[in-house]
Structure 1
Amino acid sequence: MIPEGGVITAQFYDIESGRMDLEIRGGGDAHEQFDIPIHRDGGIQDMLAEAQRPDRRFDYVICESIDRTARYTYYGTRIEHLLKQAGIPLLAADEPFQLTSPDGRKPKVATQLLTRRVKQSIAEFYVVDLLEKSWDGFAVHTEAGYNVGKACYGYRAKHVPHPVPAKRAKGEKKTLLEPDPAQKPAVQRIFQLRIEKRLGYEDIATRLNADLASYPPPVPVDPTRAVGCWTYSNVRDVLTNPKYTGHMVWNRRARKTGRNRLNPIQEWVWSAQPVHEPLVSLEDWIAAQNVSGHRFGSRSGNNTNINHPDTKRSYLLRTYLFCDLCGRRMNGKTRRALAYYVCAPKKAYIPEGHPTGGSFFVREDALIDKLNEFLSHHVFGHYRRALLADRMRDLDEEARHEREQRITALKREIDDIEQRRKRAIHHLELFDEPDAELIRDINERRAQLRHRQVQLKEQLAEAEEAIAQTPNPDLIDLLPVGQVDVAQLPEDTARNLFEALRLKMHYNKTANTVRCEIDLTAHSITTAQDASNAAILPFPRTSPETEAGTPNEDPSPESAPVPILVVPPAGLEPAT
């Protein structure tokens, strides 16, 4: 409805969500995909901009309905306020309005304003209520194990009849996931390379591309966009997808409100139990995510940085050396043909106790000398077990004993609850005609016991996994015995050794010391053995008397704690 004497001078409209922030509305080009017979002079932002100009083409703005301006009351009233500041009333075609009163005074709008705000509130309520119901529907859908969208790589869609009878009668179906035999090995290989060798996405893709017959690459929804090989993003998508654990997961990304950004993991919706065959364990998936913190900002290979054309060399300890004062990874630099490592945090991030000026250097050859000493004595030396602190080993045995007692107690309580549930059913059978109240009480008690049993089984699984994941000092005996000179090794061999041992070096400039750590677990021991055999030099044959008298191999009770092997602080020559 147009007021008498009114003429349409311009038409503005958006084909976007009315729930978008006002500042980003009106910039889309979706309207170009439709054959709309109405001329478009711009979007909402164009209209607001023209309203501020003295040569604007309109004195009023009229919309179909007030809730069509925005789906949020805040943005609807903001648009109205911005137009009002420019002296332009906002009218709605479905509302009664007067441009002037019969006596020429300003028309009264109080009732119209109340009606408008009620309509805006109802419109926002309707949208939010619909979104909440839709969310609940997707959550139930996820918990039941149904997949949304294309099946992820490694799985294929398994169509099953729709659980709603009316939709099932129409032939509609739901989608579950089942492993794809041709793709399953690739997924498992990706996780193996990530966890055991801690390779980056590019390096994993390179290894898969070397055998495309065994590891066929993913095919996108649009097959014409397929590149025929594994890419960085393909590997990343596999490693970050929790569906490979057998759980169905939804809401990983904010596709509508956050421009496809990744949501925090606590906002993800998981099925309570695995709903399809897992390709990796939940523990392995978590371990793969933890590698990202180690790999972040650092390449896994021994190549130079192709993103910096001026780079002339690679640095052996890149990725593994950290500043002990601020915790940041140290970067390689070259001065007078010598390799150094520098810690140079920004001024705002310099912690207390950091050297004056914020940055400092340390020579690579000094670090390598101490690393060779640590590896040759504490990791591959004859007396490596004696160098583990007896006190810490005793504490570890005590903790392990407590965990084993906890597991035994949990199993005993689970069995006891199962017996109590069976007795509850047996008691019910003793009554020829049990009343409804008795049946209700027994069912409630069985439900309580069942709930408690589920809790205990979860605690048991956590306790058993804790034992499996606990680093075991006995694993060090599985490594070969010998000496190491990492400076003489090919760089890829040395870095493979560092990765397999989970090496970390922490340099303290104030004390001029370096602390070395390795981490051996059941997951990594095989890789550590292979990398060690390729890197160490066998000890020369000596007599038992000579070996026993070697001063550098003297067992010390002050050595590093279990489960991390730490070299005692040793001074370094000051960098020049």
Structure 2
Amino acid sequence: VFDAPIDLSDLPGYQAATASRPRTAFLGRCSTKDNQDPRSSLAGQLADASLLLGPGEVFVAHFWDVESGMLGLDERSQICAEDYARLGVPVPRDGGLGELLEAVERGEVDRVACERIGRVARDMLPSLQIERHLLSRGVPIDCANEPQGGMTTGRLTTRRSAQMQAEIGRHELMEMSMRGQRQHAANGYRHGPPCYGYIAELDPDAPPPAGRFGERRPKMRLALHPDGRRADTVSQVFGMRRLERLGDREIARRLARDLDLHPLAEGQAMWCGRQVRRMLAQPKYTGYQVYGRRAGRQRRERPTPISAWVWSRRPAHPAIVTVEEWHQTQLVAAQLRASRSTGWDRVHAAAAARGIALLPVRENETHTVFLAGDRQIVLPRGGLPPVVADEVIALLEAGR
């Protein structure tokens, strides 16, 4: 107590300090609806956060999301309001984390209350960023599982420990999940949508998952598509690359000439080089299940080294090509990529030696028109085959 030694209430300007009631907003989050029941989880979070309210105080707004706390800040609150309405969560919703930050910027919120700091984010860095951003606007975050009152150091010790544990728990969950995914693939079960030429079918011999609650995901394996033309198409595509050394676009053009023999997949408008390239790189056509060819989430996925791929312990479904044929196809593809790159390098080197700059002036889906001095040269887009490179170099050397 730091009161004055005498009563000073009769002095001009004296005013008794009164505490105004803050406008408190609720912030909640639970994982996807497949992993948690958002109806019970969010209702329980709201009940715990309500313990932070004073007598007669109510939340001025409710902000919550049903999504992973491992998402980046730019990926949060992306689900539309209609989808949230179908969940039937008995908690009003004024938006998610993004809308909360907007409300703070408009000065509509004085305090944020949540069950625990892990509901803000699972990773420590985004959690600290949100906390610091709100504090810079004069809006504190209070958590129901932290000590209230007393000194700031006690609350910070609890909060920082909770943030650290949330991130460690996140990595622990990811490690266990990845271990399960690797074993799932090693046992030959399907990952992702079936590739062209296959369908997914239930494995009646798979043992049921033990100790799981909620809806059980059935084990599935790949099987040949009922339309045998698709498997034949895959086999021919590998043959055209391996034996004829054709590029992706030329193979796609051959397929497009006879759609009766080479039917399109569901939702596929036409054959294109990208689809052919993906087909030729797919190791599942060998009959083995393969997992981990790409790492990361959604748009940030990146290729992983072949040595890090997880292969099933034995063939898991009918093969369309042999492992040796797939291996040879990858070698031919690498040789074609190297030769095309070398072709462009040789052409540019020949032009530079004669003081000529190859300048692209226009292009379409298949070719690009280059201005070379006072001449125009039409070259295929993408890679440059060695034969074409030799012809262009001969023209440049002849001065024509």
Q: How has the CA–CA distance of structure 1 residues 293 and 97 changed in structure 2, closer, same or farther, with 3 Å as cutoff?
A: same
Question: Which residue matches 1:551?
Answer: none
Question: Which residue matches 1:150?
Answer: 193
Which aligned pairs between 1:484-523 and structure 2 lie closer than 5 A?
A: 503=387, 505=389
Q: Pick the aligned partner of 1:213 from 256, 260, 266.
A: 260
Q: Pick the aligned partner of 2:83 from 5, 18, 33.
A: 33
Partners in 1 of 2:143 and 2:84 — Cα distance? 25
Question: Which residue matches 2:327?
Answer: 283
Which aligned pairs between 1:174-573 and structure 2 lie closer than 5 A?
A: 174-180=219-225, 181-219=228-266, 225=267, 227=269, 230-254=271-295, 257-259=297-299, 261-266=301-306, 267-271=308-312, 274-280=315-321, 281-287=325-331, 289-290=333-334, 293=337, 321-324=343-346, 342-343=357-358, 503=387, 505=389, 572-573=397-398
Conservation of the 8 A alpha-carbon contact between 2:241 and 2:329: no
Question: Which residue matches 1:404?
Answer: none
Partners in 2 of 1:196 and 1:25 — Cα distance? 49
Conservation of the 8 A alpha-carbon contact between 1:10 and 1:57: no
Q: How has the CA–CA distance of structure 1 residues 245 and 289 changed in structure 2, closer, same or farther, with 3 Å as cutoff?
A: farther
RMSD: 4.3
Give the fraction of aligned pairs with identical amino acids, expressed as a percent.
Answer: 29
Q: How has the CA–CA distance of structure 1 residues 143 and 362 changed in structure 2, closer, same or farther, with 3 Å as cutoff?
A: farther
Q: How has the CA–CA distance of structure 1 residues 112 and 198 changed in structure 2, closer, same or farther, with 3 Å as cutoff?
A: same
What per-residue deviation string (whole Å, max 9, x for no partner) do you get for residues 485-507 of structure 1?
Answer: xxxxxx99xxxxx96xx637469
Is it true that 1:48 corresponds to 2:88 in the alignment?
Answer: no
Q: How has the CA–CA distance of structure 1 residues 43 and 161 changed in structure 2, closer, same or farther, with 3 Å as cutoff?
A: same
Gaps of 5+ in 1: 99-106, 220-224, 297-318, 331-340, 346-358, 366-490, 493-497, 515-569
Question: Which residue matches 1:127?
Answer: 170
Partners in 1 of 2:60 and 2:339 — Cα distance? 59
Which aligned pairs between 1:105-124 and structure 2 lie closer than 5 A?
A: 107-124=150-167
Q: How has the CA–CA distance of structure 1 residues 272 and 199 changed in structure 2, closer, same or farther, with 3 Å as cutoff?
A: same
| Cα distance, 1:129 vs structure 2 | 0.9
The one-letter code sitting in structure 2 at the alignment partner of 1:65 is R
Q: How has the CA–CA distance of structure 1 residues 363 and 209 changed in structure 2, closer, same or farther, with 3 Å as cutoff?
A: closer
The one-letter code sitting in structure 1 at the alignment partner of 2:153 is A
Question: Which residue matches 2:15?
Answer: none
Is it true that 1:16 corresponds to 2:67 in the alignment?
Answer: yes
Q: Pick the aligned partner of 2:134 from 72, 83, 95.
A: 83
SS of the residue corresponding to residue 34 of structure 1 reads helix
Partners in 2 of 1:212 and 1:73 — Cα distance? 53
Conservation of the 8 A alpha-carbon contact between 1:239 and 1:288: no
Conservation of the 8 A alpha-carbon contact between 1:160 and 1:173: no
TM-score relative to the length of structure 1: 0.47
Q: How has the CA–CA distance of structure 1 residues 97 and 165 changed in structure 2, closer, same or farther, with 3 Å as cutoff?
A: closer
Conservation of the 8 A alpha-carbon contact between 2:188 and 2:313: no
When structure 1 is superposed on structure 2, of 116-125 and 269-278 the one drifting more is 269-278
Partners in 1 of 2:319 and 2:60 — Cα distance? 62
Q: How has the CA–CA distance of structure 1 residues 324 and 199 changed in structure 2, closer, same or farther, with 3 Å as cutoff?
A: closer
What per-residue deviation string (whole Å, max 9, x for no partner) do you get for residues 236-285 of structure 1?
Answer: 43223221233321123446x24263433345433466544432323233
What per-residue deviation string (whole Å, max 9, x for no partner) do you get for residues 343-396 of structure 1?
Answer: 459xxxxxxxxxxxxx9759799xxxxxxxxxxxxxxxxxxxxxxxxxxxxxxx
Q: How has the CA–CA distance of structure 1 residues 288 and 9 changed in structure 2, closer, same or farther, with 3 Å as cutoff?
A: farther
The one-letter code sitting in structure 1 at the alignment partner of 2:260 is A
| Cα distance, 1:33 vs structure 2 | 0.6
Question: Which residue matches 2:116?
Answer: 65
Partners in 2 of 1:292 and 1:40 — Cα distance? 56
What per-residue deviation string (whole Å, max 9, x for no partner) do you get for residues 500-556 of structure 1?
Answer: xx6374699xxxx76xxxxxxxxxxxxxxxxxxxxxxxxxxxxxxxxxxxxxxxxxx
Question: Which residue matches 1:535?
Answer: none
Q: Which one has a bigger Cα radius of gyration?
A: 1
Gaps of 5+ in 2: 1-49, 361-370
Partners in 1 of 2:64 and 2:216 — Cα distance? 39
Conservation of the 8 A alpha-carbon contact between 1:322 and 1:506: no
Partners in 1 of 2:276 and 2:396 — Cα distance? 42
Conservation of the 8 A alpha-carbon contact between 2:281 and 2:330: no
Conservation of the 8 A alpha-carbon contact between 1:323 and 1:507: no
Partners in 2 of 1:13 and 1:173 — Cα distance? 31
| Cα distance, 1:190 vs structure 2 | 1.6
Q: How has the CA–CA distance of structure 1 residues 263 and 322 changed in structure 2, closer, same or farther, with 3 Å as cutoff?
A: closer
Question: Which residue matches 1:140?
Answer: 183
Q: How has the CA–CA distance of structure 1 residues 294 and 31 changed in structure 2, closer, same or farther, with 3 Å as cutoff?
A: farther
SS of the residue corresponding to residue 118 of structure 1 reads helix
What per-residue deviation string (whole Å, max 9, x for no partner) do you get for residues 168-215 of structure 1?
Answer: xx9986333344444211001122233444545454334223333332
SS of the residue corresponding to residue 11 of structure 1 reads strand
Partners in 2 of 1:240 and 1:291 — Cα distance? 14
Conservation of the 8 A alpha-carbon contact between 1:18 and 1:72: yes
What per-residue deviation string (whole Å, max 9, x for no partner) do you get for residues 96-145 of structure 1?
Answer: 323xxxxxxxx412222222222222222222111111111111222222
SS of the residue corresponding to residue 299 of structure 2 reads coil
Partners in 1 of 2:198 and 2:285 — Cα distance? 9
SS of the residue corresponding to residue 259 of structure 1 reads helix
Q: How has the CA–CA distance of structure 1 residues 145 and 362 changed in structure 2, closer, same or farther, with 3 Å as cutoff?
A: farther
| Cα distance, 1:62 vs structure 2 | 0.9
What per-residue deviation string (whole Å, max 9, x for no partner) do you get for residues 290-317 of structure 1?
Answer: 2673698xxxxxxxxxxxxxxxxxxxxx
| Cα distance, 1:56 vs structure 2 | 0.4
Which aligned pairs between 1:162-181 and structure 2 lie closer than 5 A?
A: 162-163=206-207, 174-180=219-225, 181=228
- Equivalences, count: 320
What per-residue deviation string (whole Å, max 9, x for no partner) do you get for residues 23-55 of structure 1?
Answer: 3323x134431224544444323433443x4x5
